[in-house]
């Protein structure tokens, strides 16, 4: 029974579409996060002078808001994934469930 169910799910075109869209979107978000994170790390490694510049007359340096920006970027792309998962990906999942459990 379970092998038959797995086979029906795997051969469903909506499931194939779900896998392709989710995988592609995940890779794009991963790439974006890697560019931002490793860009910051490379900046720390090779351009300390830029990051150590003070902002205004206070003690805050450029590195603090840039580092904070990396954290905010992570939260934003997580929210983007969750929003898409709760709409488009859930709709496709429900379509697969309906088609397979008939």
Structurally, the chain folds into a number of domains equal to: 1
The answer as to whether 7 is a domain residue is no
Task: Look at the block and give the residue holding tokens 């890697």.
Answer: 34
Q: What is the domain range of residue 52?
A: 29-100
Q: Within a domain: residue 36? A: yes
Q: Report yes or no on 83 lying in a domain.
A: yes
Per-residue pLDDT of 27-84, as tens digits, reads 999 999 999 999 999 999 999 999 999 998 889 999 999 999 999 999 999 999 999 9
* Residue 16 covered by a domain: no
Confirm whether 18 is domain-assigned.
no
Residue 1 predicted with pLDDT over 90: no
For residue 13, being part of any structural domain is answered with: no
81 Cβ neighbours under 8 A, 6+ residues apart: 25, 26, 29
Could you tell me the CA-to-CA distances from 100 to 46, 56, 90 in Å, in that order? 54, 62, 15
From the centroid of its chain, how far is CA 102? 33
Give the end-to-end CA distance of the chain in Å, rounded to a whole number: 14
């Amino acid at each position: 029974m379970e092998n038959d169910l797995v086979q029906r799910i795997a051969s469903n075109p909506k499931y194939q579409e779900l896998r392709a869209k989710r995988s592609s979107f995940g890779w794009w978000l991963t790439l974006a996060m890697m560019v931002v994170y490793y860009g910051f790390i490379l900046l720390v490694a090779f351009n300390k002078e830029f990051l150590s510049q003070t902002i205004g007359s206070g003690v805050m340096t450029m590195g603090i808001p840039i580092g904070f920006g990396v954290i905010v970027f992570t939260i934003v792309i997580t929210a983007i994934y969750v929003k898409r998962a709760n709409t488009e990906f859930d709709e496709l999942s429900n379509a697969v469930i309906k088609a397979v459990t008939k």
